[in-house]
């Protein structure tokens, strides 16, 4: 795990965007693993400003709320369209988000894993981190070998994501379909981005604490090509 500390959030975001741009310049047909959330909005905005071409890329998003249709304004598919896909030259057939409104969620999870495999696996996985250490929606007690599956969201996560649901945690769906920790660890390269003081304690646990299923992001310590990009505020509790 390589930890890269930048002075502020803008510098951290720009570095991540630059790393993605470099990756696509050297391999235009990259398979990207993508995340949503407030932190990622700035990364997508930067990639769009840089006019990076995604024409030959394929993408797989980490997660989707269960019960939300793709055109629901609160779904992660909608987030991706709004913040990124519809402003880029990504072919829409090449973008994938787990099917949160599938009738058979177990089958949808299996199919998602197969789609990733058939695309040749993920070259570069982009990650944010939740305040309880989740990557994707791998909440505490997610097994290191876990695969794409249906996961219950913790009260912390529902509170953290309430802003998108009129500020009411009760309106946040209780479950999500998420890639597993094992799925994420199979990516050839991983970049985790965290900014702001609210992430400082969990970054210290994920980077310097024991590898434990209580902090899913700690499993990234096992990955041979994982960069953790943080600003000073998020790095403030590192030893």
Residues at the contact surface with ligand F6R, assessed by CB under 6 A: 35-39, 62-63, 76, 128-130, 134-136
**In this chain, which residue has its C-beta nearest to ligand F6R?**
128
Q: Which is nearer to ligand F6R, 23 or 134 (CB)?
A: 134
Q: Which is nearer to ligand F6R, 63 or 189 (CB)?
A: 63
Six token digits for residue 185: 């660890």
Q: Are 187 and 110 in contact (CB under 8 A)?
A: no
Six token digits for residue 233: 């505020």
Closest C-alpha to 122, from 17, 20, 195: 20
Instruction: Please tell me the chain's helix, strand, coil percentages from 3-state DSSP, rounded to the nearest 5.
Output: 40, 20, 40
Quote the least distance from Cβ 142 to ligand F6R, whole Å.
11
Quote the least distance from Cβ 27 to ligand F6R, whole Å.
23
Quote the least distance from Cβ 26 to ligand F6R, whole Å.
25
Q: Which is nearer to ligand F6R, 54 or 76 (CB)?
A: 76
Quote the least distance from Cβ 63 to ligand F6R, whole Å.
5
Q: Which residues contact 35 (CB under 8 A, 6 or more apart)?
A: 61, 62, 126, 127, 128, 136
């Amino acid at each position: 795990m390589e930890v890269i500390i930048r002075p502020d959030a803008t510098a951290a975001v720009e570095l991540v965007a630059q790393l993605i741009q470099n990756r696509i310049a050297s391999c235009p047909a990259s398979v990207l693993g993508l995340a949503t959330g407030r932190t990622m909005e700035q990364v997508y905005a930067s990639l769009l400003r840089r006019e990076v071409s995604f024409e030959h890329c394929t993408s797989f998003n980490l997660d989707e709320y269960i019960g939300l249709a793709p055109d629901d304004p609160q779904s992660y598919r909608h987030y991706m369209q709004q913040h990124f896909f519809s402003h880029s030259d990504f072919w829409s057939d090449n973008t994938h988000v787990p099917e949160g409104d599938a009738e058979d969620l177990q089958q949808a999870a299996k199919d998602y894993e197969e789609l990733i495999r058939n695309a040749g696996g993920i070259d570069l996985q982009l990650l944010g981190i939740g305040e309880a250490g989740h990557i994707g929606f791998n909440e505490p007690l997610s097994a290191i070998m876990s695969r794409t599956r249906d996961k219950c969201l913790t009260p912390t996560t529902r509170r953290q994501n309430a802003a998108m649901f009129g500020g009411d945690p009760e309106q946040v769906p209780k479950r999500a379909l998420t890639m597993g920790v094992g799925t994420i660890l199979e990516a050839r390269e991983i970049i985790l981005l965290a900014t702001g003081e609210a992430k400082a304690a969990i970054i210290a646990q994920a980077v310097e604490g024991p590898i434990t299923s209580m902090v899913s992001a700690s499993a990234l310590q096992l990955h041979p090509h994982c960069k953790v990009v943080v600003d000073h505020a998020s790095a403030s509790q590192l030893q």
